[in-house]
Structure 1
Amino acid sequence: MTEQTVLIAGAGPVGILNALGLARAGISVTVLERGSEVVQSPRAMVYHWSVLDGLERLGLFDAAAARGFLKQGYTYRVHATGEQVSFGLDALEGRVAHPYNLHLGQNALVELALEELSAFPHAKVLWNTEVHSIDQDDNVVRVRTISDCDPLVLTAQWLIGADGARSTVRESVGIAFDGHTWPERFVATNIRIDLEAHGWPLTTMLIDDRYGAIISKIDTTNLWRFTYCEDEALPVETVLDRMPEYFGAVFPGIDDIELVAFSPYRMHQRAAATFRAGRVLLAGDAAHATNPTGGLGLTSGLFDTYVLYEALAAVIDGRVSDEVLDEYARLRREVFVDKVSPAASANKKLVYHSGKGAALDEAMAGLRQLSSDPDALFARLMFPKSLETPSLVAEVHA
């Protein structure tokens, strides 16, 4: 039986960044990941300006910006008419430290964070280690795993479940995951093509009931993300057969698109009934799941991370009571339920279900206002900041 101060299930960005934050605070931490390496399939790739301060505190911002790129502009485009509305984050210049978004595949961020984590001898990652069951008492949490085909039991003072929407950690401690599943399937594709040369902005929200899509450049190698949705009742096995229709409709006349990777997945709007059960804490998709329109899932997970690792380190060091973790659980759940999920649902409706006629006109009127009303634009651009929970232990450092 092996003991650590903190165990973390899941080596995605939430798991690895929590590990890095704890390791930097001197806390011994082990990450358990069922896979053999960093997941490379298409996942989140846009980091809103509001989360970049946190990457800087973790020592990751410069390397992440160098590997990806910074961007300010957005374009909304109606597929049927070609109407475009564009605006940019330059309205934030002089008001915030990072007035731009970062584009970088989440796999690349995890790789950068793992490089940083490797410098701490009290931190490690166990690949090929699948969590099977959990039990806990007042003093420790025990995690039973299969690691490289052999049973392994680990104990720790605390366990963070960052193991995704199908979280074994959440299920093992009996926390409900309430909400609904959308009747559509999202298909995220990574394609290699110089779309800028064909007149496409760096990020386009393409509005249409059939061919609605999010089209965004991922990195400086002409890798782009093209995400569309289809009826979830269609066979997932034949996604590839239907894909050319979407490419042809959205990118007419562009024939040299290279499909690098794709990932079909179901979409949910769900939140765990609580983000804490004794010595078990939930963060990221294990705590809440949202459709990805607008990039609010990753944003929420990073804001969970920034406040959690700091609070947990303070508890372990004896600087604050563990009641601060109840506050983490309450506040982060409220942010998701009251702000993130409604906003993501509205974003999905706008891009994929705006319809035609009066409904579409009303949606476009709100977007057009952003081009003519600086106050409306500023309020919209500040929304991602409202998803942040301020430090729960800041007064400890004062």
Structure 2
Amino acid sequence: MGEEQQVIVVGAGPTGLLNALGLAQQGVVVTVIERAPGLQDSPRAIVYHWATLDGLARLDLLDDASRAGFLKQDYAYRVHKTGEIIEYGLKALDGKVRHPYNLHLGQGALAQVILRRLETFENVRVLWDHEVTAVAQDSEGVVVTVRAAGGDKVLRAEWLVGADGAGSKIRGETRLGFDGMTWPERFVATNVRFPDNRPGWAQSTFYVDDVYGAIIAKIDESGEHGLWRYTYMEDDALPAESAAERLPGFLANVFGEDAGKGTELVAISPYRMHQRSASSYRAGRVLLAGDAAHATNPAGGLGLTMGLFDSYVLNEALGAVVQGRADETVLDVYAEARRRAFLEKASPRAAANKRLLFHSSDPVKLDQDLEVFRRMSRDREFAAERLYFTKTLETPSLLAV
């Protein structure tokens, strides 16, 4: 492919790669710019809600992603102080939706699945080790200056998609605000090999406690000692570089003093948590998607869920605009709809999830909050109604007549 591209996508995480793939499938010429030398695999998203799987299927990725990971239906809440276990799952959705299960797959593994598919298209290229240093635009397109090993390059395209994470250079270059707040605590996401034979632990478990709260989800089915995501919270005043030294204490209080037996820390990633949204998801010929547009704490797995839903509707609409099948005002509809979905639905739910899991010091309030899940465990129709929430985060096709 030559130097001319119709769309530049900045960021080679799942959100950026999904937009590139959706555009490529429509015949759009795309260049992906990524400052890292290759795909990143630090502990981040791991569970993809059932409602996002329809979009993966439309992009012909679901079968490959399912083979790389696994599908499951079970959930549980466990309360540290009382020992109560509330089990429920997605079986209530059986017969009601096309894909009544979640996909468990590391974010880096999902990106690899998408990249393998992208590499089959001649109208896409990925420029690794290229860092955006400046963005300018006019009525005809966008000019992007990048720093690479061979020196600076200048690339031009009709449109640019910024999918370069919460610290987005693209958002900064377009002078869009990132309004909201940063939580005072630190989250620590770890990949840990655990024995899989502990009774009563669901493959997605929310461990409720104001000290030892955690989100525990299985990543793969690799035998007796599977790989699990164990994400917990700690005081941000503690040194991040010694987080691994404190992990055994958390595990011992959750699983018992023998928790260290057969346990191996594979990866650890301490990070700050935010509830923030860009002031707009469109600035002229620049569109934002994923964490570049909005950032949330990970309780409930709504971060990449929103990035996927952004991507499904954006790539379809942008492809139509590039090819003259839709007016560019459809991109304003994208920007407004996705921002509203984050601010009105995803962010409040993620904040409520965080309060329940990690700030449950009032036993009366906790008992009231848990009653919703107790009812879900015994009332199939109520469970289906509650589980349908993630579907409401989706924006239907903007091209539908």
Q: Secondary structure at the match of 2:88?
A: strand
For 2:20, the equivalent position in structure 1 comes to 19
Q: 1:82 offset after TM fit, Å?
A: 1.0
Question: Which whole-Å CA distance do the structure 1 matches of 2:250 and 2:340 have between them?
Answer: 37
Query: What's the counterpart of residue 363 of structure 1?
Result: 369
Query: Tell me, what secondary structure is at the counterpart of 1:91?
Result: helix
User: Which whole-Å deviations, capped at 9, do the CAs of 1:100-127 have from their partners, x for residues lacking one?
Assistant: 0000001111111111111111101000
TM-superposed deviation, 1:232: 1.1
Instruction: Give the TM-score normalised by the residue count of structure 1.
Output: 0.97
Structure 1 residues 196, 17: closer, same or farther in 2, change over 3 A?
Answer: farther
Q: Residue 207 of structure 1 corresponds to which residue in structure 2?
A: 208
State which drifts further: 2-11 or 267-276.
Answer: 2-11
Q: Which has the larger displacement, 139-148 or 171-180?
A: 139-148
Q: Residues 2 and 153 of structure 1 are in contact (CA less than 8 Å); yes or no, is this contact kept in structure 2?
A: no
Q: In structure 2, what is the Cα distance between the partners aligned to 1:232 and 1:198?
A: 33
- Map of 2:165 onto structure 1: 164
Q: CA deviation at 1:197?
A: 3.9
Aligned to 2:6, the other structure's residue is in SS state: strand
Identity between Structure 1 and Structure 2 (%): 55
Relative to the length of structure 2, the TM-score reads 0.97
Relative to 1, partners in 2 of residues 1:13 and 1:372: Cα closer, same or farther, differing over 3 Å? same
Residue 102 of structure 1 is matched in structure 2 by: 103
SS, match of residue 136 in structure 2: strand
Aligned residue for 2:195, secondary structure, equals: coil
**C-alpha contact 2:76 2:201 (8 A) present in aligned 1:** no
Give the Cα–Cα distance (whole angstroms) in 2 for the partners of residues 281 and 58 of structure 1: 20
Amino acid across the alignment from 2:182: T
Secondary structure at the counterpart of residue 121 of structure 1: coil
CA RMSD of superposed structures (Å): 1.2
Tell me by how many angstroms 1:149 deviates. Answer: 5.1
Residue aligning to 1:331:
337
Between the aligned partners of 1:16 and 1:38, the Cα distance in structure 2 is: 11
CA shift, 1:148, in A, is: 2.3
CA-CA distance at 1:242 after TM superposition: 1.5
Closer, same or farther in 2 for the Cα pair 1:98/1:246, shift >3 Å? same
Please tell me the residue identity of whatever aligns with 2:127.
Answer: L
Residue deviations 1:68-119 (CA, integer Å, cap 9, x gap): 1100011000011110111111111111110000000011111111111111
2:282 aligned to 276, 281, 291, which one? 276
Counterparts in 2 of 1:2-41, with a 5 A limit? 2-41=3-42
- Summarize the alignment of residues 279-298 of structure 1 with structure 2, pairs less than 5 Å apart: 279-298=285-304
1:393 aligns with 2:368: no
Q: Residues of 2 paired with 1:307 and 1:29: CA distance?
A: 17
Q: Could you tell me which amino acid in structure 2 is paired with residue 170 of structure 1? A: R
How far apart are the structure 1 equivalents of 2:23 and 2:390?
25
Among 352, 361, 382, the alignment partner of 2:358 is 352
Contact 2:295–2:303 under 8 Å retained in 1 = yes
Match for residue 130 of structure 2?
Answer: 129
Q: Which residue of 2 aligns with 1:220?
A: 221
2:97 counterpart SS class: coil
**Offset of 1:145 from its aligned partner?**
0.6
1:243 corresponds to which residue?
247
Give, as a single letter, the amino acid of the residue that structure 2 aligns with 1:168: K
Structure 2 gap segments, 5+ residues each: none
Describe the superposition over 1:194-220 as per-residue Cα deviations: whole angstroms up to 9, x where unpaired: 234454221110000000000110111
What does 1:106-121 align with in structure 2 at a 5 Å threshold? 106-121=107-122
Structure 1 spans left out of the alignment, 5+ residues: none
Distance 2:181 2:150 in 1: 35
What corresponds to 1:318 in structure 2?
Answer: 324
Give 1:195's aligned residue.
196
SS at match of 1:4: coil
Match of 1:173 in 2: 174
Structure 1: distance between partners of 2:142 and 2:53? 33
In structure 2, C-alpha distance between the alignment counterparts of 1:356 and 1:195, rounded to whole Å:
32
Q: Which amino acid aligns with 2:267?
A: A
Q: Could you say which residue in structure 1 is the equivalent of 2:146?
A: 145
Shift of 1:371: 1.9
- Opposite residue 153 of structure 1, the aligned amino acid is V
SS class of match (1:85) = strand
Equivalent residues of 1:196, 1:202 under 8 A apart? no
1:394 is displaced (CA, Å) by 2.3
**d(CA) in 2 for partners of 1:80, 1:318:** 60
Q: Does 1:306 align with 2:307?
A: no
Aligned residues: 395
